[in-house]
Amino acid sequence: MTNKTFETSVVHQDDRASSAVRGAAIGFYVDMFDVYLPVIALAPAMIYFVSPELSIGAKSLIAGMIFAATLVARPLGSTIFGVLADKIGRRLATIYAVIGCGVTTLATAFLPGFQHIGVAAVGILIALRFVGGIFMGGEYTGAVPLAMESSPISKRGKYGGAIAATFPLAYCTISGISFLLLQTMPSDGLMSTYIQWGWRIPFVVGALATFWFAYYYARSVHESESWIESKAEAASKGATKATSFRLLMMPQNKRSLIRIFILMTGVWFGSNVVSVILPQILREDVGISVSGATGVWIICQVVLIGGYLASGLISQKIGRRAFFLGCGITMAVISGTAVTLLATGTVGGYLAITIVATLALLAGTTTFGSVPTLVCESFPVDVRGTGYGLGYSLAIIIPSFYAFYQELLTAVIPRAYTPMVLLVLGGVLVAAGALMGPDTRDRDLSMTTEQLYGPNR
């Protein structure tokens, strides 16, 4: 091969990697935007969907069900679309999932309220969030493996961190849009502007962004060459009937699945505590105003963008195994201590509260900066979509009952110390998952199950 030909090949590979990573990052941003729509944009307008005669507790329960509907559906969606990503390709699976997500988000923007159709209003809302959650769970199971498979080995950590960084970026964006709308539109009373139609604007924006992304992805992102080659090899050997789920149950792949499930269960424990419980602590226990607590949280999210980018680079430098082992320790020790200091009212002053809250968030969730990379590296190309979907999303289920675990713990310790227990548990699981398998930093992502483990596996 001539130097010119070699240079052209390298540029071509870099272009494919850049477009695939850019697509995964934008897709994850759009996905997270849609996830947080009911939590941020719809929360101030809940009286539009429920009876005014409901108690505060009942309204809170319904609000929780709306968010939970998306959360519960994501593992189902990631499993369905993970299998599809291995069967029909990462690119097509991603496009189908994104279009479905956009349709359900747009439909939500035009829902009638309780005053029009009674209790059916909130029932339809929850159903749409559930169906949308299935498609949201499918977006990353195709786009992320495609991005990692298209990336050079030396840049996978960096690119994984860039994809994960769009999560807090989406949170900040929707918070900003909702804040501006609430500042310019009345929101006091059922017939007020924001309650009647203002909340619909972020949903329309989210849907249009989703449709644009589907168009962009279809035009700009090519299918993974590793996946194409694996399908061609399977066809040449007459192995087309071996489904990805069946291959995933082979001993070596199953061990990787168990490892990722344990590690991700710990990651989700940390995420739930610092992303859900910590904001409640800031609003209710720290002693600052609601607007002040919101300001602290937005600052934390901005810093977290840099934390995700840095964690991807660090894991590329020291290896995934060492990185996640360190994350497990910092989650248990640093994040656990920081959250406890805030929950017990030990920290005073806005600056000190902001610093401690930021430490809690960084130490508790920067694991996500290398999660896309590690999960993809843990599975061969012929089961990567399925393995990503099952290992990443099924692990959400156990930590999602964090509030129940808190209530059980209050029987033996004060409530202020319960988040620390959950963070220690999460840290132990992350560290255990890291130790259960090899470092995958240098693994060739084009290898099939047979190539990686041998014909007898």
Q: Is residue 27 part of a domain?
A: yes
Mean pLDDT of 315-321: 96
User: The whole model's pTM is what?
Assistant: 0.85
Question: What's the pLDDT tens digit per position in 367-411?
Answer: 999 999 999 999 999 899 889 888 888 888 888 888 888 888 999
Q: Is pLDDT of 12 > 90?
A: no
Q: Is residue 282 part of a domain?
A: yes
Q: Is residue 99 part of a domain?
A: yes
Q: What CATH number has the domain bearing residue 150?
A: 1.20.1250.20
Q: Is pLDDT of 6 > 50?
A: no
User: Is there a single domain that holds both residue 192 and residue 278?
Assistant: no
Mean pLDDT of 221-244: 76
Structural tokens at position 346: 């030990």
Q: Is residue 227 part of a domain?
A: no
Q: What is the DSSP string of 85-144?
A: HHHT-HHHHHHHHHHHHHHHHHHHHT---HHHHTTHHHHHHHHHHHHHHHHHHHHHHHHH
Q: How far apart, in whole angstroms, are the C-alpha atoms of residue 9 and residue 138?
A: 32
User: Is there a single domain that holds both residue 259 and residue 314?
Assistant: yes
What's the total number of domains in the chain?
2
Predicted local confidence at residue 242, as pLDDT: 56
Q: Is residue 269 part of a domain?
A: yes
Q: Is residue 341 part of a domain?
A: yes
Nearest to 130 by CA among 70, 66, 74, 61: 70
Q: Which amino acid is at 272?
A: N
User: Is there a single domain that holds both residue 265 and residue 398?
Assistant: yes
Sign for the CA dihedral angle at 366, 369, 375, 378 comes to negative
Higher pLDDT, 192 or 234: 192
Q: Is pLDDT of 434 > 50?
A: yes
Return the exposure string of 221-244: e unless at least 16 CB atoms fall within 10 Å of the residue's CB, then b: bebbebbeebbeebeeeeeeebeb
Q: Domain range for residue 366?
A: 243-440
User: Is there a single domain that holds both residue 253 and residue 163?
Assistant: no
CB atoms within 10 A of CB 106: 17
Percentage of residues of the chain with pLDDT beyond 70? 93
User: Is there a single domain that holds both residue 190 and residue 257?
Assistant: no
User: Is there a single domain that holds both residue 169 and residue 275?
Assistant: no
Contact 37, 199 (CB under 8 A): no
Q: Is pLDDT of 113 > 50?
A: yes
Higher pLDDT, 342 or 70: 342
pLDDT, the chain, mean: 87
User: Is there a single domain that holds both residue 112 and residue 42?
Assistant: yes
Contact 171, 31 (CB under 8 A): no
Q: Is residue 226 part of a domain?
A: no
For 166, the 3-state DSSP assignment is helix
CB atoms within 10 A of CB 120: 13
Question: What's the pLDDT tens digit per position in 262-311?
Answer: 999 999 999 888 888 888 888 778 878 777 887 898 899 999 999 999 99
Q: Which of 220, 253, 278 finishes a domain? A: 220
User: Is there a single domain that holds both residue 214 and residue 264?
Assistant: no
Question: What's the pLDDT tens digit per position in 245-263?
Answer: 788 888 899 999 999 999 9
Q: How far apart, in whole angstroms, are the C-alpha atoms of residue 373 and residue 312?
A: 8
User: Is there a single domain that holds both residue 165 and residue 299?
Assistant: no
User: Is there a single domain that holds both residue 207 and residue 251?
Assistant: no
Q: Is residue 452 part of a domain?
A: no
User: Is there a single domain that holds both residue 285 and residue 215?
Assistant: no
Predicted local confidence at residue 11, as pLDDT: 40
Percentage of residues of the chain with pLDDT beyond 90? 49
User: Is there a single domain that holds both residue 297 and residue 207?
Assistant: no
Confidence of residue 7 (pLDDT cuts 50, 70, 90): very low
C-beta pairs of 409-418 under 8 Å, 24+ apart in sequence: 415/343, 416/285, 416/340, 416/343, 416/344, 417/340, 417/343, 417/344
